Chains A and B, each alone.
Chain A
Amino acid sequence: MNGAKALIESLERQKVDVIFGILGGALLPIYDALCDNTKIRHILSRHEQGAAHAAEGYARASGRAGVCMATSGPGATNLVTGIANAYMDSSPIIALTGQVPSKGVNTSYMIGRDAFQEADIIGITTPITKQNYQVRNASEIPKIVNTAFYIATTGRPGPVLIDLPKNVQAETADMEFTNKIDARGYNVITDPDLAQISRAVELLTKAEEPIILAGGGVITSNASDELMQISDLLMAPVATTFMGKGAFPEVHPMSIGSIGMHGNPAANRLISEADVLLAVGTRFSDRATANTDTFCPNAKKIHIDVDAAEIGKNIDVDVPIVGDAKKSLRILHATLLKNLQKKKGTAWTKRVKETKEKLSPLIKDMPKDLVPKTLLSELRKLLPEDAIVTTEVGQNQMWAALYFQALKPRTFISSGGLGTMGFGFPAALGAKVACPNRAVVDIAGDGSFRMTEQELASSVEEKIPVTVIVLNNSVLGMVAQWQRALYNKRYMAVNLGKSPDFVKLAEAYGARGFRVGSVAEFQKAVKAALKSEVTTVIDVPIGSEEDVVPFVPPGCGLPQQRGDY
């Protein structure tokens, strides 16, 4: 068996059902092997960045590793943004890259000689992958693929890249398909230290104003039920980070929304008042904490994370718990039950309720105009509970965070860490492939959408119908907002003008396009899009000076949020 066939066989053994990719010269043996394959669907992306984001959308919607593939050189480097995105947001993706031959036909090496379409993708991706491999001999392929999937999907998930020189793909060898893993230095600590759990229980039992902060790790580890049990027992409000959105239903009475620079003011206020913080599966990113010196200033802090290096990295904590979120929360809950009666309403729960009523942006009456907050709260009403929403990056994303309530884990998928414009649309395609029976909607801005709009072609040709809502303000809105607020309206390089016509653009690709001028038209267009068998782009012209408010200016603490909302 040759290396290419061994790769496909190994992927099948990992239950891979789809690869997002673009072929090229250095991948011809693998694509030849795919010719005879019936179990793995290949989706031809139109740019490798789209393939990587689609793989991540697939992974985050399904919880399984997403696979993308690109040829050597420019194909591989085009994956880089998507790999970096997956690394920052801890998403399990496997990136397969072709490489120039490590042995030539006349026994001369090509790697290292600046061959045609050669790039050192191992060197390039070392700081943005959990691990990467360059295959030396075809016979190593089964074990490397096993190990790559194991590393990508366990512990704190992340991207793993496998670089496959063309001669290795073509080389025949005796293959041994095993379940063996070759990663001696890779250890995941899933079981929490019980002594630390006891210390956490002691703090939480005495807490009068406890608060829970749920990060993306709660979603990764499927720990939402355990989180809710602890919140119920302690009567503790739950804030999420941006990446944790969906970990706790945002319509729950104890939900206070996301903290952060553009967080829910109720969450930003309450986290500053708490006396004990239970943070789970979060890395305390600067966008979540704002000024770390004033973050959660009065609280004793308990931090649960599967990645030991995240504990004490950005925020000093009192009780460090290294472990899987689900396991740790389950043990924490069981131990709390022995020490504590379920709390009834307290002064703190009253304060939580009052603060939400006073500060939460969704409590206020929505205007009837075509403005983002109205559109996004309307969108929630139009979508089923299990619909998956992705976002682009910028104002559209922060409006979605503030005004679109996520009800279930894995239904809100956005580029949190890297902030990659162009992420949302290909990620929506990946999510739709993973969950074909659910509605998938990309909340987009006109600037971001144009960065990966070419994937309209793959969505139409591969019959992956999603809905794109373009909040079209004809500017790069978030930076324009900063220039307006912090640079005295000295606008530079933010004006996008009125082109293209997004309806015609959609139609040019064979997709559907609508332009809406009122909330009623918006509702009608979304309903039509959800029934459509082809991708629909809904162009929603909005004002170009609309701000995302409130926001925490750089250097300030979370409660110092400004802006009338």
Chain B
Amino acid sequence: MENGKARVVSAIVENKPGVLHSVSNLFRRRNFNIESITVGATEDRELSRITITVTADEKTLDQVVKQLDKLVDVVGVAELDPNSIVTRELALVKINVPSAKERSDAINCVQVFRGRVVDVSPDSLMVEITGTSDKIDAFVNLMRTFGIIELARTGITALSRGARAVNIDE
């Protein structure tokens, strides 16, 4: 499993208590590796979307999808085609800027990455940045030179390109 690459699986689930538990429990029990998991609303109030990034080879990924599909509360599930996918992640980064010079250096970097400064205090800045995980990794690395006080990343959410959608049971 460690030899595989990162893949994104999108599951449409019933929006009710306990569903996230049964999904995360499945990953633990079957020894699948979760890199990131995000849960949120969909266009349908009764359904939520769980976006899971897993590192897996072909055979393991096949099992991930089939085992998820078997859960009664999972209404639809598919791997999103890595060649036709939009993935986004959001991060909030709080950094140390004890001087005006450092503050302006930091803001320059933020502009290059198209981030946004969302909070300023005499010796800190909070930046919001959105993009692919690679872009956020690069930005976070850069911010380390200033000193990161706190960091929060949402994990990946994703949809496939074009009109195609995850098939759901009626």
A contact set with B: CB distance below 8 Å: 122-123, 126-127, 130-131, 134, 151, 183-187, 307-309, 312-313
B72 lies within 8 A of A185 (CB):
yes
A184 to B73, CA, bound (A): 8
B169 lies within 8 A of A187 (CB):
yes
Q: Is B35 an interface residue (CB 8 A)?
A: no
**Within the complex, what minimum Cβ distance (angstroms) separates A565 from chain B?**
37
Q: Which residues of B contact A183 (CB under 8 A)?
A: 72
Q: Which residues of B contact A184 (CB under 8 A)?
A: 14, 75, 169-170
A308 to B71, CA, bound (A): 12
Q: Which of B60-68, B99-107, B122-130 contacts A (4 or more CB under 8 A)?
A: B60-68
**Within the complex, what minimum Cβ distance (angstroms) separates A135 from chain B?**
12
Tell me the total A-B contact number using a CB cutoff of 8 A. Answer: 44
> Which B residues from 6 to 53 make CB contacts under 8 A with A?
13-14, 18, 21-22, 25-26, 29
A187 to B73, CA, bound (A): 11
Question: Given known contacts A126-B25, A183-B72, A185-B71, what 5 new A-B pairs fall within 8 Å (CB)?
Answer: A185-B75, A187-B169, A308-B69, A309-B67, A309-B70
Whether A126 touches B67, Cβ cut-off 8 Å, given contacts A184-B75, A312-B59, is: no
Q: Which residues of A contact B59 (CB under 8 A)?
A: 312
Q: Is B158 an interface residue (CB 8 A)?
A: no
> Per-residue CB proximity of B65-87 to A under 8 Å, as 1/0?
01101111111100000000000
B29 lies within 8 A of A185 (CB):
no
Whether A308 touches B66, Cβ cut-off 8 Å, given contacts A184-B169, A187-B169, is: yes
B contact set with A: CB distance below 8 Å: 13-14, 18, 21-22, 25-26, 29, 59, 62-63, 66-67, 69-76, 169-170
A308 to B73, CA, bound (A): 17
**Within the complex, what minimum Cβ distance (angstroms) separates B151 from chain A?**
31
Whether A130 touches B67, Cβ cut-off 8 Å, given contacts A122-B18, A184-B170, A312-B62, is: no
A186 to B22, CA, bound (A): 15
| A-B contacts, 20 listed (Cβ < 8 Å) | A123-B21, A126-B21, A126-B22, A126-B25, A127-B26, A127-B29, A183-B72, A184-B14, A185-B13, A185-B14, A185-B72, A185-B76, A185-B169, A186-B72, A308-B66, A309-B63, A309-B66, A309-B69, A309-B70, A313-B63
**Within the complex, what minimum Cβ distance (angstroms) separates B59 from chain A?**
7
A130 to B70, CA, bound (A): 9
